[in-house]
Structure 1
Amino acid sequence: MKTMGLNEIREKYLEFFESKDHLRKQSAPLVPINDNSLLLINSGMAPLKPYFTGDEIPPSKRMTTCQKCIRTPDIDNVGKTARHGTFFEMLGNFSFGDYFKEEAIKWAWEFVTEVMEIPEDKMYVSIYEEDDEAYDIWHKIVGLAPDRIVRLGKADNFWEHGLGPCGPCSEIYFDRGEDHGCGNPDCAVGCECDRYIEFWNLVFTQYDKDGEGNYHPLANPNIDTGMGLERMATIMQDVGTIFEVDTIRHVLDTVCGLAGIQYKDDVKNDISIRVITDHIRSVSFMIGDGVLPSNEGRGYVLRRLLRRAARHGKLLGIEGTFLSQLSREVKKTSGEAYPELVEKEETIAKIIRLEEEKFQETIDQGLMILEEEMEKLKKEEKDILSGETAFRLYDTFGFPLDLTRDILEESGMDVDEDTFHEEMKKQKERARKARSDKDNNAWGDDLFTHLTEDTLTEFVGYQTLEATGKILGMVVDGQPVQDAREGQQVLFVMDTTPFYAESGGQVGDIGTVEHDECKIQVDDCKKGSLGRHIHHGTVVEGSIRVNDMVRARVDEIHRMSVARNHTATHLLHKALKEVLGDHVEQAGSLVDSKRFRFDFHHFEKLTKEELEDVESRVNKAIRRALEVEKFETDIQKARELGAVALFGEKYGETVRVVRIADYSMELCGGTHLDNISQIGLFKIVSENGIAAGVRRIEGVTGVNTLEYVAGLEGQVRQTAVLLKSNPEHVNQRIEELFSTIKSLEKEIQGLKQQLNKNASEDFLSKAVDIHGISFLAASVQGYEMDDIRDLADGLRDKTQGVVLIAGEKDGKVHIVAMGTKEAVSQGFHAGKLAKEVAATTGGGGGGRPDMAQAGGKDPSKIQEALETGKSVLEKMLVK
Structure 2
Amino acid sequence: MQTHEIRKRFLDHYVKNGHTEVASASLLLDDPNLLFVNAGMVPFVPYFLGQQSAPYSRATSIQKCVRTLDIEEVGITTRHNTFFQMAGNFSFGDYFKREAITFAWTLLTGAQDDGGFGFDPERLWATVYLDDDEAFGIWRDEVGLPAERIQRRGMTDNYWSMGIPGPCGPCSEIFYDRGPAYGSEGGPEADEDRYIEIWNLVFMQNERGEGTSKDDYEILGPLPRKNIDTGMGVERVAFLLQGVENVYETDLLRPVIDRAEELTGRRYGSDAASDVRFRVIADHARTAAMLILDGVNPGNDGRGYVLRRLLRRIVRSARLLGADQPTMRAFMDTVRVAMAPSYPQLETDYDRVRNVAVGEEAAFLGTLASGSKLFEDVARQTRSQGSARIGGADAFTLHDTYGFPIDLTLEMAAEAGLEVDREGFGALMAEQRARAKADAQARKHAHADLTVYRELVDGHPTEFTGFDELNTEATVLALVRDGVRVPTAVAGEEVEVILDRSPLYAEAGGQIADAGVITADGTRLTVNDVQKIAKKLWVHKVSVDRGQVTEGDAVLAQVDSSWRHGATQGHSGTHMVHGALRQVLGPNAVQAGSLNKPGYLRFDFHWQGGLSETTRQEIEDVSNAAVGADHTVNTIETSLDAAKEMGAMALFGENYGDEVRVVEIGGPFSMELCGGTHVAHSSQIGPITVLGESSVGSGVRRIEAFVGTESMKHMARERALLQGVATLLKVPSEDVPGRVENLIDRLKVAEREVEKAKSASLAAAAGPIAESAERVGDVLLVAAKAPGGGGGNELRALAGDVRGRLGDAASVVVLFGDDGGKVPFVVATSGAARDAGLKAGDLVKAFAPAIGGRGGGKPDLAQGAGTDPGGVEAAVAALRAELTDR
Shorter-chain TM range is: 0.7 to 0.9
Q: Distance in 1 between matches of 2:765 and 2:501?
A: 85
Match of 2:159 in 1: 158
Per-residue deviation at 1:710?
A: 2.4
Alignment equivalent of 1:657, drawn from 645, 658, 662: 662
Q: Does 1:709 align with 2:715?
A: yes
Q: How does 1:205-604 map to 2 (within 5 A)?
A: 205-209=204-208, 213-319=218-324, 321-342=326-347, 343=349, 344-361=352-369, 363-364=371-372, 367=375, 371=379, 374=382, 385=391, 392-400=397-405, 407=413, 410-411=418-419, 413-416=421-424, 417-418=426-427, 420-433=429-442, 435-436=443-444, 440-442=445-447, 444-445=449-450, 448=453, 453-476=458-481, 479-529=484-534, 531-604=536-609
Look up the SS of the partner of 2:252 in the other structure: helix
Per-residue deviation at 1:312?
A: 3.5
Instruction: Indicate how the Cα distance of structure 1 residues 144 and 736 shifts in structure 2: closer, same or farther if over 3 A, else same.
Output: closer
* Stretch of structure 1 that moved more, 5-14 or 312-321: 312-321
Q: Distance in 1 between matches of 2:773 and 2:286?
A: 61
8 Å contact from structure 1 (residues 630, 657) kept in 2: yes
Look up the SS of the partner of 1:282 in the other structure: helix
- The one-letter code matched in structure 2 to 1:299 is G
Query: If the length of structure 1 is used for normalisation, what is the TM-score?
Result: 0.86
Per-residue deviation at 1:636?
A: 1.1
- The one-letter code matched in structure 1 to 2:160 is W
Q: Distance in 2 between matches of 1:839 and 1:240?
A: 64
Look up the SS of the partner of 1:713 in the other structure: helix
Per-residue deviation at 1:443?
A: 6.1
Match of 2:817 in 1: 808
8 Å contact from structure 1 (residues 327, 348) kept in 2: no
Q: Distance in 2 between matches of 1:572 and 1:560?
A: 18
* Stretch of structure 1 that moved more, 57-66 or 423-432: 57-66
Match of 2:195 in 1: 196
Per-residue deviation at 1:537?
A: 1.0
* Stretch of structure 1 that moved more, 74-83 or 57-66: 57-66
- The one-letter code matched in structure 2 to 1:459 is F
* Stretch of structure 1 that moved more, 420-429 or 562-571: 420-429
* Stretch of structure 1 that moved more, 617-626 or 344-353: 344-353
Q: Distance in 2 between matches of 1:377 and 1:444?
A: 60
Q: Distance in 2 between matches of 1:384 and 1:633?
A: 64
Alignment equivalent of 1:639, drawn from 621, 644, 648: 644
Per-residue deviation at 1:845?
A: 6.2
- The one-letter code matched in structure 1 to 2:402 is F
Q: Distance in 1 between matches of 2:782 and 2:841?
A: 14
Instruction: Indicate how the Cα distance of structure 1 residues 123 and 569 shifts in structure 2: closer, same or farther if over 3 A, else same.
Output: same
8 Å contact from structure 1 (residues 598, 698) kept in 2: yes
Question: Which runs of 5 or more residues in structure 1 are unaligned?
Answer: 769-773
Question: What do residues 461-497 of structure 1 show as CA deviations (whole Å, max 9, x unaligned)?
Answer: 2222222222121123554311111111111111221
- The one-letter code matched in structure 1 to 2:45 is K
Q: Does 1:745 align with 2:751?
A: yes
Q: Distance in 2 between matches of 1:197 and 1:727?
A: 78
Q: Does 1:734 align with 2:757?
A: no
Instruction: Indicate how the Cα distance of structure 1 residues 64 and 352 shifts in structure 2: closer, same or farther if over 3 A, else same.
Output: farther
Match of 1:73 in 2: 69
Q: Does 1:693 align with 2:699?
A: yes
8 Å contact from structure 2 (residues 841, 856) kept in 1: yes
Instruction: Indicate how the Cα distance of structure 1 residues 191 and 839 shifts in structure 2: closer, same or farther if over 3 A, else same.
Output: farther
* Stretch of structure 1 that moved more, 676-685 or 751-760: 751-760
Q: Distance in 1 between matches of 2:782 and 2:277?
A: 50
8 Å contact from structure 1 (residues 52, 222) kept in 2: yes
Question: What do residues 742-795 of structure 1 show as CA deviations (whole Å, max 9, x unaligned)?
Answer: 453354355356546645777898999xxxxx9999974344555567778999
Q: Distance in 1 between matches of 2:432 and 2:183?
A: 38
Q: Distance in 1 between matches of 2:655 and 2:255?
A: 33
Instruction: Indicate how the Cα distance of structure 1 residues 49 and 391 shifts in structure 2: closer, same or farther if over 3 A, else same.
Output: farther
Look up the SS of the partner of 1:453 in the other structure: helix
Alignment equivalent of 2:180, drawn from 178, 181, 185: 178
8 Å contact from structure 2 (residues 129, 153) kept in 1: yes
8 Å contact from structure 2 (residues 457, 536) kept in 1: no
Question: What do residues 510-568 of structure 1 show as CA deviations (whole Å, max 9, x unaligned)?
Answer: 21112113111112101124621110111112111111121111112111211111111
8 Å contact from structure 2 (residues 368, 404) kept in 1: no
Q: Does 1:5 align with 2:5?
A: no
- The one-letter code matched in structure 1 to 2:77 is T
Per-residue deviation at 1:738?
A: 3.1
8 Å contact from structure 1 (residues 591, 597) kept in 2: yes
Match of 2:150 in 1: 149
- The one-letter code matched in structure 2 to 1:6 is T
Per-residue deviation at 1:369?
A: 7.3
Instruction: Indicate how the Cα distance of structure 1 residues 449 and 14 shifts in structure 2: closer, same or farther if over 3 A, else same.
Output: closer
* Stretch of structure 1 that moved more, 807-816 or 501-510: 807-816
8 Å contact from structure 1 (residues 328, 345) kept in 2: no
Q: Does 1:31 align with 2:38?
A: no
Q: Distance in 2 between matches of 1:504 and 1:155?
A: 42
Q: Does 1:672 align with 2:673?
A: no
Q: Does 1:615 align with 2:610?
A: no
Query: If the length of structure 2 is used for normalisation, what is the TM-score?
Result: 0.85
Match of 2:213 in 1: none
8 Å contact from structure 1 (residues 504, 649) kept in 2: no
- The one-letter code matched in structure 2 to 1:113 is T
Per-residue deviation at 1:252?
A: 1.9
Per-residue deviation at 1:617?
A: 0.3
Per-residue deviation at 1:622?
A: 0.7
Per-residue deviation at 1:198?
A: 1.0
Question: Which runs of 5 or more residues in structure 2 are unaligned?
Answer: 111-115, 211-216, 775-779
Question: What do residues 604-629 of structure 1 show as CA deviations (whole Å, max 9, x unaligned)?
Answer: 22111011000000000011111111
Look up the SS of the partner of 2:526 in the other structure: strand
8 Å contact from structure 1 (residues 583, 601) kept in 2: yes
Match of 2:87 in 1: 91
Q: Distance in 1 between matches of 2:303 and 2:56?
A: 31
Q: Distance in 2 between matches of 1:578 and 1:851?
A: 55
Instruction: Indicate how the Cα distance of structure 1 residues 358 and 299 shifts in structure 2: closer, same or farther if over 3 A, else same.
Output: farther
Q: Distance in 2 between matches of 1:805 and 1:340?
A: 65
Question: What do residues 172-208 of structure 1 show as CA deviations (whole Å, max 9, x unaligned)?
Answer: 211111111235xxx2233334111110112232334
Per-residue deviation at 1:257?
A: 3.3
- The one-letter code matched in structure 1 to 2:178 is R
Look up the SS of the partner of 2:253 in the other structure: helix
Q: Does 1:82 align with 2:84?
A: no
Per-residue deviation at 1:797?
A: 11
Instruction: Indicate how the Cα distance of structure 1 residues 547 and 154 shifts in structure 2: closer, same or farther if over 3 A, else same.
Output: same
8 Å contact from structure 2 (residues 478, 497) kept in 1: yes
Instruction: Indicate how the Cα distance of structure 1 residues 412 and 88 shifts in structure 2: closer, same or farther if over 3 A, else same.
Output: closer
8 Å contact from structure 2 (residues 22, 59) kept in 1: yes
Match of 1:771 in 2: none
* Stretch of structure 1 that moved more, 79-88 or 608-617: 79-88
Per-residue deviation at 1:602?
A: 1.4
Q: Distance in 2 between matches of 1:835 and 1:561?
A: 64
Look up the SS of the partner of 1:596 in the other structure: strand
Instruction: Indicate how the Cα distance of structure 1 residues 229 and 759 shifts in structure 2: closer, same or farther if over 3 A, else same.
Output: same
Question: What do residues 34-65 of structure 1 show as CA deviations (whole Å, max 9, x unaligned)?
Answer: 21110111111112323433445656444332
